[in-house]
Every structure is written in C-alpha cells, then in structure tokens.
Structure 1
Amino acid sequence: MARARDGEWARHWHYPAVPGLDLLRARYVRHSFVRHSHEGFVLGAVRQGVEDVVTPHGTLHAGRGSVVMLNPEVPHSAHAGDPDGWSYATLYPSLDLVAAIAAEETTLRGTPSFAETIVEDEDTALLIRAVHRAAEEGNALAADSLLRVTLARLLRRHGTSLTVRAPRDAGAATAARARELLHRRMADPPSLEQLARELDTGSFALLRAFKAAYGMPPHTWLTDARIRAARRLLEAGTPPAAAAAEVGFTDQPHLNRHFTRIVGVPPGAYQRERARTYKTGGAGPH
C-alpha cells in the first residue's frame, strides 16, 4: 500500500481469483488525477468526503454514497472537492466482463455503457465496498459473486446501449492516423509540426481534430498511452527504470510523476502488488 502526506494512502491491485478486474482503494487529499482515460470501465464508491470529477461535459461532485461510473475511453480528471479530501473504493472491470454480464442479466443489446456519470446509489456503493472486503480476505467465491451482483444491478439501473457513431469526417480520420503514428513512435515521437506535416495538415487543424476525436490534445493522449504501456511492462516484471526508457520517459522519476497522477500509486507500489502472493490485511481502513 502506498502512503503519502496528509494521511493519504492508496492500494491499486489485482485479485487473481477474479479475472478481468483491478481494484483501487484510497484516501486522497492533495492528490489529483490529470486528464486520462481507461480501456475498461471505472466504478467508484465514495465512502467519505467529496470527489470532483471533471468530464467533457463539466465538473461533477460525488459525495458519500455516490457511485462514479465512467465508460471506456472517456477522458476525465479528478481531485478533492472538499478540504478533507475523499476516500473511495473503485472497481475496474474489463470490457469483456461487463459485456458478458449485460448479455446474461439485462435486456441491453449491443455495446453496454452507463448513461450517467455520477448517481446517488448508496446500497450499490456498499456492494462495491463489499467486493473489496471479500477480495482482501481472500474469499474468491464471495468476491466473484458480489462483483457480478454489483455489475448486474448497475447495468439494470443505469445501463444503456452505446449509441452508434455517425460516419467519421476527414478530421476524425486524420486524428486516427495521428494516434496510430504516435503509438508506433511512442518512445521517440515527432513534434506537432512534424506530425502535421507527415499527415499533410496544419498544426492547429490537427490539434482541433485530435481533441474533438479523443477529448485531449496529442501530447496528453501520448502520456496516457505511455502509462498504459508502462503498466503492461511492470505487470510483466520489467523494472520501473527500464519501463520508463522503453515507453519514452526521460528517466524513472519522470515515469513516477506521470504514473502516480494517472494511476493513483507510484509504479514501484503498483508492481509490488502484482508480484507478491496475496496476503490478507494491511490494505488500510475500510
């Protein structure tokens, strides 16, 4: 568990007995999450305090008993909405896990998603915390069962089918090509001017198109992509310094700073949680 100043603490981990799920339980005061997105879903239950979640549609306030629901690839940031910070338990279920439960337990068709970002749903917030407790106690049957009940309840109450997007325009196609190029050249990316020249467009036109398509400018997207790549390397056992160099960060402190502001814990703590055999306890207060 990562501990910091002001009584902050955080644990970001994976319970192997429940595939397709990561977990974060934390208390943050001064920590803030910079703009980023996730490949899967984010479902957070606020236990105390207030979390401010900044989405493309504005800032939303999540207080005690609230559930924060973020769909995959939705850009967002977060910070304390109260001087005392906030504590919460968060589930990160994969796309496949949510889709399977939606197909089995709901009438939703197509790609499942959530229609709202923050809801007052205290009983489901308690269920999310119960998933954490069961996993921390090593009770695989309870953790898996409670997770599926939680996801089915949220999908029935707040789920919807993802709206089919309109055909992409030329700007969106250019943004997609830019993203592909940045992903391929992650460790040594071009400047904005070079990137625009390679794509036969203007720098400002590229900035506008990229932000319209992905909710963030190219440099912010690239940092997020580097952190995703670093997470996979850390999970495979790559030392943090080597992971930093491979994805294009200047050094390990550079990785540490960005990793903590996106994932919520430093890369060393993240890797240790995934390397160790599960032991009960030591995860902070419930």
Structure 2
Amino acid sequence: MARINRVLDLEQVDRDIFRGTVIESALLRTFGGQVAAQALVAATRTVEPGFSVHSLHGYFIAAGRSDRPTVFLVDRIRDGRSFCSRQVKAIQDGNNLFTMSASFHRSGDHGIEHSDQMREVPDPEDIVMDTSGMRESFRALLEEWSDFDIRVVDPSQYRQNPYTASQQVVWLRSRTPLPDDETAHVCTLAYMSDMTLLQSALVPHAGVEVQEASLDHAMWFLRPFRADDWLLYDQVSPSASAGRALTHGRIFDRSGNLVAVVTQEGLARTLRPGTQSIPMSTLAPKERTQQR
C-alpha cells in the first residue's frame, strides 16, 4: 500500500476513536502534516454524507514520536442543517500532541463569487530541480517526501512581489494516484500543505540555520481539486521575529482556480550548536521500528 494511503487508513477503535498506524520515517518527530491529515480523516468519518470540510484550525502542542501510533478522539460539537463542527485530539502515550477544530458545510449553497489569480510561472514539466544549493534540512525533507513530486520554482522565473518580505513558489502533487473520493484528496492536501511552507520564511536568510517546527496550522478549502494533479503553492512569509515565522500560502490548480488557502506559524529559532534543524534518525526507518 502506498504511503499516503497508509497514512489515511485509520483504524476505528470505537464510535469516535480512531488510531493511525506507524509510518516508517527518517524523522524522529511525527510529521505535522501527517497528524493534521489523520485528524481530518477522523473528523470526516463522523460527519454525515453531503457535508464537506471547508476549514480547519489546529495547534501542535507537543512533538510526537514517529515510531509510535497515534490515537484520535473526536468530539461532535454541533450538527446543524448547513454546518457541523468537530474537535479532534491527537493522543500518544497519554499526551495530547495536537488539537484541531474542523467545520463542515452542506453542499448546494450559492452566493457571490470572486478569486485571486494565479501568478505566471513555468509549467512543472519545464522545471528541473537543482538541490545542490538547498539547505541540508530541506534536502532531507525532500527525500522524506519522495512519494510526492515537489518542484520549487526558481525565483528568476516569476515576477517578484516587491511588498512581500519572503516568497517561494512550488509545484507539487501526489505521485500516488488517488481514488475519485473527495475525502482522499482533501486529507492528502492537508498532509501536503505542511510541506515546504515553513521553508518559505528562510528564503532571504541564506546560510542561517534555524530550528524548524510547525506551531499551528489553518486551512480553508475553497473549490474542488485533485491532489494527484499538479497544484501551485504560492507562499509568502509576512513576518519573522522572536524565534517564530508566520507563513501563508495560496494553492491553485493547474487551470488557475484558487482551491485552498493555508496560514501557519512555525518555530524559526536560531539553531543552538550541536542540534539539528529537524531531528533525523541515523537509522533507516524500518530499523528504527524494529528497535522500538
């Protein structure tokens, strides 16, 4: 089974209790996008057909261990005619790692419509990734995310916004074909949305090493999309200070439709000597799992 399918394949333990299996990883900490995606799967499993998630807001409270399973507890906050709300806690070894509030909207409503436009960038097929000048931590993450096709657009290949402190543009998609099921694509995008976003804050700080970790994560799902087709992730970082960086991303499909918006604050603290930007294991993922 492909990695993303295993991530989203939660075991139902009880009516509103779900468990995610251990996913082999070189990361010592559970990837934040994985926890968010699994929490969204759990919430979606408790919602009646006809409702689709339109927003989620999550806080990363503590670092999880990637070699341990995570349990998700869903609280059915409200079931209304047009909207329903869920809260999810991610638990590991009795500790709360992550909390999420998710809101679902019944399909069929109509109203005003407008949308930002996608900036002009080269097609993903025309981009050849050169990782030689990238940070070591970013190269390690790209290897960790090898099930996804990720192509960072060279800044010389698109018009820069002069009023933005830091910006980055990335094409990405799941290499794994996904079923014709909205939940699979939405939850996969929740996973993907944590990829590369915090790195957008580091663009103007070449050579500066920082400790990286997601602190919170918010998403709005605006229009239908496929996560196994190319999506353009247009990222900016409006501010970085006090060891934290605020990042924001707009996600467009290849036709230029704005399909999702993401906002995240992350840790960007000056790296202490002898520590890693992102804690990685020197063992292969399967070897780590065997030594638990």
**TM exceeding 0.5:** no
Higher share in helix = 1
TM-score, normalising length: structure 1 = 0.29
